[in-house]
Structure 1
Amino acid sequence: MTESAEETDRDTDESESVTEKLTHTTAGGEAAMVDVGDKPDTARRAVARGTIRLRGSTVEAVRADEIGKGDVLATARIGAIQAVKHTWETIPLCHQIPITNVGTDFDLDDETITLEVSVETTGKTGCEMEALEGVTTGLNTIWDMTKAAEKDEDGQYPETAIEDVRVVEKRKQKL
């Protein structure tokens, strides 16, 4: 067997094992929701975090509640919580889960606002996607509410960026 043929066989074997591990596809490769019916209920918690980079003057205006659209952090908090509650409607194949608690925490620095969203549930599947949806929607809400202060003379956002969105904690505890 030539080296390239060996590599092709190895690639095929690796892709078959990856395909077998995919949980949202049928054996025929069709999209499918995972059946969690037989899994036991478990207490679960996920925490996600992300940052929005803004002009220093914009962060100061948020801190002083001087943004014309209203209280930026209060609105972003509501947006984050609503996103958590509706994740199953926006992420294909995501289960609707009973949310037992949502926490939001903002950290304002000189040129950034970091949002951390914690989600708790008791159920058969995790809540990482809910925490991530909360963070991204909360940060998008901040962007929307501050965009007038962030635009340059050409109507662009040269300094505004959402960064480092990630899950920072995932726990589960059998009941």
Structure 2
Amino acid sequence: MEFTHFNKNGRAHMVEVGDKEVTKRIATASGKIIMKKKTLDRIKEGQIKKGDVLSVSEIAGIMGAKQTSNLIPMCHNIFLSGANIDFNFIEDGVQVQATVKTEGKTGVEMEALTAVSIACLTIYDMCKAIDKDMIINDIKLIKKSGGKSGDYVRKDIKGKVLSVNISDKKGVIKKPIKEGVFIEEFGLENDAHGGNWHRQVSLLAIESFEKMKDLGIDGLVPGIFAENITTEGIELFSLPIGTRFKIGETIQELTQIGKECHTGCEISKKVGKCVMPKEGIFTKIIKGGVVREGDPIEVI
């Protein structure tokens, strides 16, 4: 594959896209800003003198996406149909994710990467008075869709299993077990949600739990959202349908993102609000095997 930003004379130029087809294009990028615990605590508590750090950063990230062609010399001026910035609190800082959309003749990967970069820089600016040691790192493209080159999903996305959870009835809280046997074309052995259908296994990230904790909801433990596998370090709902994971000894395929929550179920009654309808995912078992606490999760 050749670089496209050079003309026949070896000089830099903006790539001609006039003959390309208009398609729906989406790109997601992420990055982190690492900081001291006291800085993170003050962000959570709204104790930064300059104001609401994440709200300002969110606006800055969206503005950054719209200004990409003014910042990166060979980027095209693109009409954006959407830009969304998400934040997750991690142990040593904040993870930022940006998803940018358009319908056009060129992609929005640079817009997503710029949005993440500007959002992280804004957090730094808001907090530098108390923590100049903050580090911005791990800025990367997670996935993109649309265009001649097709879909892309980053292959080095990794996480781990925090808990394997089981129940013999639907609509109730699942109980953690040390390990579970996952059966091809069924799901978790002896679990009520198993069967020859597309929603054999449910997964939810601990990062989604943190969002509920930030709303003041206590008592959140693995299995409370009726998920079979509680994960860490991987934003499951940002991955496209059809993505395959190696989880422990198993291979699983993403078949559904989110679901309609059970009305009046035990989870809703105990938790009050549920992240599963938007951020939980479902998979089917392509290759069976054992999954244990601490097992790695890899996109394959």
Task: Name the TM tier (shorter chain).
Answer: 0.7 to 0.9
| 1:80-105 per-position Cα deviation (integer Å, ceiling 9, x unaligned) | 00000010000011001110001111
What residue number does 2:142 align with?
168
8 Å contact from structure 2 (residues 107, 147) kept in 1: no
Query: Which structure: greater strand fraction?
Result: 2
Q: Aligned residues: percent identity? A: 39
Corresponding residue to 2:71 among 90, 98, 104: 90
1:120 maps to a residue whose letter is: K
What residue number does 1:35 align with?
16
8 Å contact from structure 2 (residues 109, 144) kept in 1: yes
Corresponding residue to 2:83 among 102, 112, 116: 102
2:31 maps to a residue whose letter is: G
- SS of alignment partner, residue 99 of structure 1: coil
What residue number does 1:48 align with?
29
Shift in Å at residue 109 of structure 1?
2.1
Q: Does 1:142 align with 2:135?
A: no
- SS of alignment partner, residue 162 of structure 1: strand
2:62 maps to a residue whose letter is: I
Corresponding residue to 2:107 among 115, 120, 126: 126
Runs of 4+ in 1 over 4 A off after TM superposition: none
Q: Does 1:61 align with 2:35?
A: no
Unaligned runs of 5+ in 1: 1-17, 152-156
Question: Relative contact order: is structure 1 or structure 2 higher (C-alpha 8 Å, sep ≥ 6)?
Answer: 1
Shift in Å at residue 110 of structure 1?
2.9
What residue number does 2:59 align with?
78
What residue number does 1:5 align with?
none
What residue number does 1:22 align with?
3
Shift in Å at residue 22 of structure 1?
1.8
What residue number does 2:178 align with?
none
- SS of alignment partner, residue 145 of structure 1: helix
1:140 maps to a residue whose letter is: L
1:149 maps to a residue whose letter is: I
1:167 maps to a residue whose letter is: L
Shift in Å at residue 173 of structure 1?
6.6
Unaligned runs of 5+ in 2: 149-300
Query: Which structure: greater helix fraction?
Result: 1
